[in-house]
């Protein structure tokens, strides 16, 4: 097995992520929302687990990430934290819990940290959230930023298309990334932006960038676990690499079970008392 900087650490920290970035070791991040999957991801030695507000889509079936509540995110995050020994656990601050003002943002971040035991929080936005970042960091809570496609702002755009394709938009993303770094974010997710822009951002700032649909030049990559495992074949953006076809495996297994029950093949003599 290849040895990486991160291979033998007992706990991934924000400092380790910075070191990995500086030494050119890519950071691997995946989402998890529950105990059982988080345990497997941690056993596989994923660097960072994101308790994403994509739980709203994946776990609850909402069309957007907007409806998920702080209590629901804390429920998912505490389930994940109970499973994880090694990975850095980052939790999304849900829509409506930090945009109002920095005092409200701090209160939400404190609830996440206190009630779930996570390691850090993530927020979407640039200059608009800089005051909240200052306040949250002043309480000793590490903050991950998120730029490019920001699903919590879907109603402002109306589509999930690639961001940063105009000069104005790409300048804002670059400028916001610098602001997030200046205000002390330990890393930034770059979602669905052109690879060249992600490279420019990554080369300009000195904190790690973690891309999703942002090309190969970022300091790391993140995917939604359920998407990369093929739980659903409907969601098929260009950037998604599927590592498994779990939907087929689950449907086949359940069909076999139904058949076994109906034909009295299950339970057999050994499967009873
Ligand atoms: O909520 C989420 O899963 C995310 C990733 C797509 C980065 O923010």
pLDDT in tens, 247-266: 999 999 999 999 999 999 99
Indicate the SS3 state at residue 38: helix
Of all protein residues, the one whose alpha carbon is nearest to atom 8 of ligand 1 is 52
Q: What is the residue-wise DSSP string for 183-205?
A: TT-SEEEEES--HHHHHHHHHH-
CA of 91 to the centre of ligand 1 (A): 10
The single residue of 25, 124, 181, 191 carrying the catalytic annotation is 191
pLDDT at 1 over 80: no
Q: What is the helix (H) or strand (E) element at residue 122, kind and residue range? A: strand 120-122
What pLDDT score does 233 carry?
A: 84
List all residues 6 or more positions away from 22 whose beta carbon is below 8 Å from its beta carbon.
Answer: none
Number of CB atoms found within 10 A of residue 249's CB: 12
pLDDT tens track for 203-244: 999 999 999 999 999 999 999 999 999 998 888 999 999 999
What pLDDT score does 253 carry?
A: 98
- In the structure, which protein residues have their CB atom closer than 6 angstroms to any atom of ligand 1? 31, 50, 52-54, 92, 189, 191, 212, 222, 224
pLDDT at 10 over 90: yes
CA of 261 to the centre of ligand 1 (A): 39
Is 271 in the active site?
A: no
210 Cα nearest atom in ligand 1 = 7
User: Is-cis flag, bond preceding 159, omega within 30?
Assistant: no
Of all protein residues, the one whose alpha carbon is nearest to atom 2 of ligand 1 is 52
191 Cα nearest atom in ligand 1 = 7
Please check whether residue 220 is in contact with residue 198, taking contact to mean a CB–CB distance below 8 angstroms: no
Summary mean pLDDT of the chain: 97
Rounded Cα gap, residues 77 and 92, in angstroms? 9
29 Cα nearest atom in ligand 1 = 7
pLDDT at 59 over 90: yes
What pLDDT score does 2 carry?
A: 85
């Amino acid at each position: 097995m290849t040895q990486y900087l991160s291979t033998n650490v007992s706990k991934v920290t924000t400092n380790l992520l910075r070191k990995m970035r500086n030494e050119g070791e890519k950071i691997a991040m995946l989402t998890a929302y529950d105990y059982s999957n988080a345990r497997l991801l941690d056993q596989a030695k994923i660097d960072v687990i994101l308790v994403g507000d994509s739980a709203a889509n994946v776990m609850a079936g909402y069309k957007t990430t907007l409806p998920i509540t702080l209590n629901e995110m804390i429920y998912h995050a505490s389930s994940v934290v109970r499973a994880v020994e090694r990975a850095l656990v980052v939790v999304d601050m849900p829509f409506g819990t930090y945009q109002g003002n920095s005092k409200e943002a701090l209160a939400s971040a404190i609830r996440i940290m206190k009630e779930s035991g996570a390691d850090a929080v993530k927020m979407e936005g640039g200059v608009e959230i800089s005051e909240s970042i200052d306040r949250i960091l002043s309480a000793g809570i590490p903050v991950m930023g998120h730029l490019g496609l920001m699903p919590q702002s879907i109603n402002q755009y109306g589509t999930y298309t690639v961001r940063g394709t105009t000069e104005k938009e790409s300048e804002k993303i670059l400028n916001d990334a610098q602001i997030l770094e200046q205000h002390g974010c330990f890393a930034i997710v770059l979602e669905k932006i052109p690879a060249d822009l992600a490279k420019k951002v990554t080369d300009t700032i000195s904190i790690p960038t973690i891309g999703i649909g942002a090309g190969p030049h970022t300091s790391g990559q993140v995917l939604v676990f359920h998407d990369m495992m093929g739980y659903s074949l409907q969601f098929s953006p260009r950037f998604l690499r599927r590592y498994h076809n779990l939907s087929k495996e689950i449907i086949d297994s359940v069909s076999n079970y139904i058949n076994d029950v109906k034909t009295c093949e299950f339970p057999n003599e050994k499967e009873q008392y």
